């Protein structure tokens, strides 16, 4: 009905421009998600996001308790923020950057140290390319729609990016394993997954360093849980 009125109005006024004003606004929940860079600024083609790709990768693989977190400072190295990470990086020069060189080492000095598994070839390549792109503090992110709420397409990739580096068989921080659906489901059911990512009182705020998950990713996880937390 609204659209028809719009159409009539437009034709009466003969202004096609007016038609565009009648197009329904895209669906976004009330409250504002405009602070979410994942919604606002998709990365230009090929550009790597420091905030959404590099920082969570480094934090979850390197800034665990006992390693390079702000408390432990192994070898004086802290890897929990752009400023601190840049102490180990020479922009444009992966081979001159300790951050990259240690990921590649073929001996016991490799990072993360055994028994932790090394980063995958793709993850190492990502760090290398980010350094080659000038090691900028890019904050662009993947497009993210809060309504999308599938485990495989949305929830798991977020947890993999931000959490599982500290919560898997080899790195059981806080004795919490989030390696797959059945493990993650236990933390859905006891309320700790949502409590920790939303920084509710009484739960340990997660991730413990780096950025809180964006509003949009938290909305996706919440919507997925509200829809029954299926393995979909
Ligand atoms: C740098 C390592 C690290 C990362 C990354 C990390 N965690 Fe944790 N997590 C810990 C440690 C250490 C603890 C236990 C210490 C504590 O409870 O404060 C913990 C505890 C937890 C707990 C139990 C909380 C509670 O209140 O009992 C949950 C649930 C959890 N993490 C989920 C997550 C999720 C979800 C993410 C990603 C958004 C994440 N973690 C990212 C290190 C990490």
Which atom of ligand 1 is least distant from the CA of 187? 29
Ligand 1 neighbourhood includes 161 CB (under 6 angstroms): no
Ligand 1 neighbourhood includes 218 CB (under 6 angstroms): no
Q: What is the whole-number distance in angstroms between the Cα of residue 231 and the centre of ligand 1? A: 22
Which atom of ligand 1 is least distant from the CA of 203? 26
> Would you put residue 73 in left (φ > 0), alpha (ψ -120 to 50) or beta?
left
Q: Digits of tens for pLDDT over the chain (232 positions)? A: 444 443 444 444 444 433 333 333 333 333 334 444 445 578 888 999 998 889 988 988 877 777 788 778 888 888 888 999 999 999 999 999 999 998 887 767 778 877 777 888 999 999 999 999 999 999 888 778 888 789 999 999 999 888 998 999 988 999 999 999 999 999 999 999 999 999 999 999 999 988 789 888 999 999 999 999 999 9
62 touches 71 (CB < 8 A)? no
- Which residue is associated with the tokens 């999308």? 148
110 touches 102 (CB < 8 A)? yes
Ligand 1 neighbourhood includes 58 CB (under 6 angstroms): no
10 Å CB burial of residue 120 (0-12, 13-18, 19+) is: exposed
Ligand 1 neighbourhood includes 187 CB (under 6 angstroms): yes
This prediction's pTM: 0.78
């Amino acid at each position: 009905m609204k659209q028809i009125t719009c159409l009539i109005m437009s034709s009466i006024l003969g202004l096609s421009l007016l038609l565009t004003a009648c197009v329904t606004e895209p669906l976004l929940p009330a409250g504002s998600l405009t602070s979410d860079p994942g919604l606002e600024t998709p990365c230009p083609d090929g550009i790597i996001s420091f905030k959404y790709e590099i920082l969570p990768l480094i934090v979850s693989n390197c800034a665990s308790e006992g390693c390079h977190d702000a408390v432990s400072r192994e070898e004086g190295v802290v890897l929990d923020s752009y400023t601190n990470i840049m102490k180990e990086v020479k922009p444009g020069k992966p081979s001159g950057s300790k951050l990259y060189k240690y990921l590649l080492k073929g001996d016991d000095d490799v990072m993360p140290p055994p028994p932790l598994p090394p980063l995958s070839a793709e993850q190492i390549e990502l760090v290398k390319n980010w350094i080659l792109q000038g090691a900028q503090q890019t904050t662009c992110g993947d497009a993210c729609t809060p309504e999308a709420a599938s485990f495989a397409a949305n929830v798991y990739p977020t947890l993999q990016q931000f959490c599982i580096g500290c919560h898997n068989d080899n790195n059981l921080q806080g004795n919490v394993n989030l390696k797959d659906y059945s493990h993650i489901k236990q933390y859905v059911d006891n309320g700790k997954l949502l409590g920790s990512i939303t920084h509710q009182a009484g739960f340990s705020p997660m991730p413990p360093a780096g950025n809180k998950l964006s509003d949009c990713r938290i909305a996706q996880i919440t919507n997925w849980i509200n829809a029954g937390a299926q393995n979909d």
